[in-house]
Amino acid sequence: MFSGHVGVGRLVSKKLQTPPSQAWTFLSALNQVTPAEVSCSLSSSLFPLPSLPYVQVSCFNELEVCIHPDGVIPVLTFLRDHTNAQFKSLVDLTAVDVPTRQNRFEIVYNLLSLRFNSRIRVKTYTDELTPIESAVSVFKAANWYEREIWDMFGVFFANHPDLRRILTDYGFEGHPFRKDFPLSGYVELRYDDEVKRVVAEPVELAQEFRKFDLNSPWEAFPVYRQPPESLKLEAGDKKPEAK
């Protein structure tokens, strides 16, 4: 999924050619410069080869590492404990829903190293049914973050100590931050003056929702959208022949 990033082909090929007995370097820089110039070597005894980080890009002078879902715990543990990393703080954990992708959810871990005044962003991916290993065993702060992601996006975290909704009410239907969730929701809560209590009723719309053009030139994140031609091809239209 992430192998399409620009300029990562060399890193990917390096991973594939790394013998199991050799260390593999996956961090080369943090921000512009750091005292340790974080350059960390990992042995295959710590990381199974398929779960090694295999994409590395610099975004606004911050390091961004994209990993296989199986590598969440070993990678986060390494970043927390290694002498040249020391990312002791999980400052944020969130998700992004991109329905056009096969693995529609990006899980984003934002870590902070107070020792080196550096940040790193770790990304992985999943779909609606595949669970992600909980990071609570590595960062206790992930507890409520993962509950919020489960509540808002419906991403299931395996081995979480208390995975339940944190923002919505008991019995809430759906996950509000999914792109296919209706703006009005499915149920309306209101105070009924006759029965003197709050009641829940199905939403009744006075008019249908407006249909928005997602391919608008004003779209804020056009890279997440597929071009109109690809949608036509998926619908069964034939690709125009080259003249």
Q: Give the per-residue pLDDT at 73.
A: 93
Residue 224 near residue 98, CB atoms below 8 Å: yes
Instruction: Kindly state whether residue 4 falls inside one of the protein's structural domains.
Output: no
Q: What is the CATH number of the domain that holds 15?
A: 3.30.460.80
Q: Per residue in 62-94, is it b (16+ CB within 10 Å) or e — as a string?
A: ebbbbbbebbbebbbbbbbebebbbbeebeebe
Q: Give the per-residue pLDDT at 42.
A: 34
Instruction: Kindly state whether residue 39 falls inside one of the protein's structural domains.
Output: yes
Q: Which residues constitute the domain of residue 41?
A: 9-167
Instruction: Kindly state whether residue 78 falls inside one of the protein's structural domains.
Output: yes
Low-confidence ranges of the chain (pLDDT < 70): 1-62, 205-243
Residue 203 near residue 185, CB atoms below 8 Å: yes
Q: Give the per-residue pLDDT at 217.
A: 60
Q: Give the per-residue pLDDT at 90.
A: 97
Instruction: Kindly state whether residue 42 falls inside one of the protein's structural domains.
Output: yes
Q: Give the per-residue pLDDT at 71.
A: 87
Q: Give the per-residue pLDDT at 198.
A: 86
Instruction: Kindly state whether residue 133 falls inside one of the protein's structural domains.
Output: yes
Question: Which pair of structure tokens corresponds to residue 81?
Answer: 């404990």
The pTM of the full predicted model, rounded to 2 decimals, is 0.65
Number of domains forming the structure of the chain:
1
- pLDDT tens, residue by residue, 24-72: 233 433 333 232 333 333 333 344 444 555 445 566 666 888 888 988 9
Q: Give the per-residue pLDDT at 180.
A: 87
Instruction: Kindly state whether residue 18 falls inside one of the protein's structural domains.
Output: yes
Burial of residue 237 (CB within 10 Å: 0-12, 13-18, 19+) is exposed
Q: Give the per-residue pLDDT at 221.
A: 54
- What's CA 215's distance to the chain center, in Å? 23
- What lies within 8 Å, CB to CB, of 173 at 6+ separation is 185, 186, 187
Instruction: Kindly state whether residue 120 falls inside one of the protein's structural domains.
Output: yes
Q: Give the per-residue pLDDT at 57.
A: 57
Instruction: Kindly state whether residue 228 falls inside one of the protein's structural domains.
Output: no
